[in-house]
Amino acid sequence: MRINRTRMEDWIFRKIGGTASGSHLTRDALRQYQAEKLRETVAYAGQNSPFYRARLADFPVETLQTPEDVSRLPFTTAQDIRKAPLKFLCVSQSDISRMVTLKTSGTTANPKRLCFTAQDLELTVDFFAHAMRSFVKPGQRVLILLPGEQPDSVGDLLRRGLDRIGVDGIVSGPVADPAQTADTILKQEIDGLVGIPTQVLQLVRTDGVKKIPAGRIKSVILSTDYVPEAVKKTLESAWGCRVFNHYGMTEMGYGGGVECHAQCGYHFRDADLLMEIVDPATGQPKQDGEYGEAVFTTLTRHGMPLIRYRTGDLTRFLPDPCPCGTVLKRMEPVRGRIAGSIALKNGQMLTVRDLDERLLTLPELLNYQAEITRENGLDLLRISVYTSAGNDPQLAETIRQTVSGIPAIQAALNESVLSVGEIQFSPENWFTTGMKKRKIEDRR
């Protein structure tokens, strides 16, 4: 089967000044553009933002000759933003159209604040319009299961992007009641969904799968830091749809990279973002193919540019060209948070991904939470589950066995340094807007 080249490529080609019909984007042209925008960004931030002025005022901008030269600049961390978000501003506060406050739950840390001008938001709307063209056709209807009530929120920007390509975007917000969402899908004759993985999973495992006929939903775009493969497969087989990953975060201006029809890695909005992979411990650049931390620099941001922002997400650039034939690089779907790995007592690492890929394959499971505590010197893993079957002792046993079969857990159980607590059934659905990244709570 021939896979269409990602539509992101022609969009980026036009954005960087390509016009001649019949010609295409080349890697050289993109690299040249990125190096030029990098110099512009460093000069602009160094002059206008108090945070970067202190750091970069004396940096010899003209020495940034290639995109890789970005590695000579210092990193920006989430902590830097939390400490003094307004020091990042390059414009006056009256020029800011939207300020987003991201709270870290359970900590007393200052919230992270991110600011965007109208021009910054326009770039995101434009990205959404072009990214979505690969998945939906004019005249179709897309249900947006992301926060979107407020003007310029992620759901609102996506709706505006869809409108530009003749697609009707209906903002319904994160799924609070799956039955109601299923009704909306049928009544409004929805063709595509954009949502948060565990929420769309609930839709398919509760009323959704019974009511929504296969073929109704043609495409699902899952947007978050990490999409479990188990969720993707469940949706594809239940609805006969295609499931695509989008990777983005508020710091990126919501939109970042999206999969093409080859479904093996994201292509990024390379005219707006310069992506890197670095060693999380040393900060040194990683070669294509090697895993590390995703780091990005904004190339076109006016309100609050970010230079080498550390995402904390573990991934890599895939070394081979994409089967879709684009010259754009592709990044493997994020494998989870670097800080999200928990070291068990025997040194084995356990991640949310390990749990997700096993637990979310169980058809009755709708959501779960995991925490690790220490009792009598031993690690104790507690799992609470929210299921469609309610409190079922046989299911509890299946969950226990599934968890115990995860290699890291199995090894720790064999060495008697870990025990798995009784499985707790929760009537709660741990409603989330998806803006918080999922993790194993470490309470040791």
Contact residues: Zn ion, CB under 5 A: 6, 260, 262, 322, 324
Measured from the CB atom, is 279 or 320 closer to Zn ion?
A: 320
Measured from the CB atom, is 116 or 266 closer to Zn ion?
A: 266
Minimal distance, residue 325 CB to Zn ion, in Å: 7
Minimal distance, residue 35 CB to Zn ion, in Å: 24
Minimal distance, residue 12 CB to Zn ion, in Å: 13
Measured from the CB atom, is 90 or 243 closer to Zn ion?
A: 243
Chain centroid, CA 350 distance in Å: 20
Measured CA to CA, the distance from residue 61 to residue 270 in angstroms comes to: 20
Q: What angle do CA 62, 63, 66 make, to 5 degrees?
A: 105
Measured CA to CA, the distance from residue 298 to residue 120 in angstroms comes to: 11
Minimal distance, residue 382 CB to Zn ion, in Å: 41
Minimal distance, residue 3 CB to Zn ion, in Å: 7
Minimal distance, residue 245 CB to Zn ion, in Å: 12
Measured from the CB atom, is 6 or 181 closer to Zn ion?
A: 6
Measured from the CB atom, is 64 or 324 closer to Zn ion?
A: 324
Minimal distance, residue 290 CB to Zn ion, in Å: 21
> What SS3 string covers the chain?
CCCCCCCHHHHHHHHCCCCCCCCCCCHHHHHHHHHHHHHHHHHHHHHHCHHHHHHHCCCCHHHCCCHHHHHHCCCECHHHHHHCHHHHCCCCHHHCCEEEEECCCCCCCCCEEEEECHHHHHHHHHHHHHHHCCCCCCCCEEEECCCCCCCCCHHHHHHHHHHHCCCEEEECCCCCCHHHHHHHHHHCCCCEEEECHHHHHHHHHCHHHHHCCCCCCCEEEEECCCCCHHHHHHHHHHHCCEEEEEECCHHHCCCCEEECCCCCCEEECCCCEEEEEECCCCCCECCCCCCEEEEEEECCCCCCCCCCEEEEEEECECCCCCCCCCCCCCECCCCEECCCCEECCCCCEECHHHHHHHHCCCCCEEEEEEEEEEECCEEEEEEEEEECCCCCHHHHHHHHHHHHCCHHHHHHHHCCCEEECCCEECCCCCCCCCCCCCCCEECC
Measured from the CB atom, is 277 or 324 closer to Zn ion?
A: 324
Minimal distance, residue 184 CB to Zn ion, in Å: 32
Measured from the CB atom, is 6 or 369 closer to Zn ion?
A: 6
Of how many residues is the chain composed?
444
Minimal distance, residue 106 CB to Zn ion, in Å: 39
Minimal distance, residue 335 CB to Zn ion, in Å: 19
Measured from the CB atom, is 306 or 322 closer to Zn ion?
A: 322
Measured from the CB atom, is 205 or 246 closer to Zn ion?
A: 246
Measured from the CB atom, is 231 or 322 closer to Zn ion?
A: 322
